[in-house]
Structure 1
Amino acid sequence: MAYTENMSYVANITLAPNGRVVIPANMRAELGCAAGGTLLARLENGTIILEPVQAAVRRAQALVGQYIAPDANLADELIAERKAAAAIE
């Protein structure tokens, strides 16, 4: 295992015949992933990126949060929209 200039971990990982890989223990620890934990895998520009689902959710929330007023209550807005639609029916 080696470190890159931005202190990222780099490791050679072998792909098993069944397609499985083993993520090194120190990488799993750094990610906070325990046995049975869930990772999100995405293919981006020819690179496989693995991240904990919670990290992906936080990233999505931050992205969406840029477009929502801080005092907005989306649940209340959705309920009001559904009630209005039901009243029309």
Structure 2
Amino acid sequence: MTYLAKVIAGGKVVIPAGWRRELGIKDGDSVIFDRDDAGAILVKTHEQVVREVQALFRPFGDPASSIVDELIKERREEQRREGAAAGDRLAS
């Protein structure tokens, strides 16, 4: 659906109430303004931008795996190997 709105003092434009309800935009929320390649103005919610960024990074890693968890696992394995090597030296 297309809406017509006027720009009032200070560059303010009212987002139609139906769209605000549909998008979950409430008083005090922040919205992000962007432009597409054709120069059209896009208004996005914070949640929309977060989803877009997550989609951009999705190919670079499995969200179920944690780099921190992998690092902790590697460090524990190193400690186990170091402990075993120290025990071997003490037994000699």
- Report the TM-score when normalising by structure 1: 0.67
Q: Which residue among 40, 54, 72 is the counterpart of 2:65?
A: 72
CA RMSD of aligned residues (A): 2.0
Structure 1 equivalent of residue 86 of structure 2: none
Measure, in 1, the Cα distance between the counterparts of 2:21 and 2:64: 36
Q: Secondary structure at the match of 1:49?
A: strand
Q: Which has the higher helix share?
A: 2
Q: Which residue among 58, 61, 65 is the counterpart of 2:51?
A: 58
Residue ranges of structure 1 left out of the alignment (5+ in a row) = 4-9, 81-89
Measure, in 2, the Cα distance between the counterparts of 1:52 and 1:71: 26
> How much does 1:54 deviate?
1.0
Measure, in 2, the Cα distance between the counterparts of 1:48 and 1:25: 19
Q: How many residues align?
A: 70
- Name the aligned partner's letter for residue 66 of structure 1: P
> How much does 1:39 deviate?
0.8
Residue ranges of structure 2 left out of the alignment (5+ in a row) = 73-92
Q: Which has the higher strand share?
A: 1
Q: Secondary structure at the match of 1:60?
A: helix
1:48 is aligned to 2:32 = no
Q: Whose radius of gyration is greater, 1 or 2?
A: 2
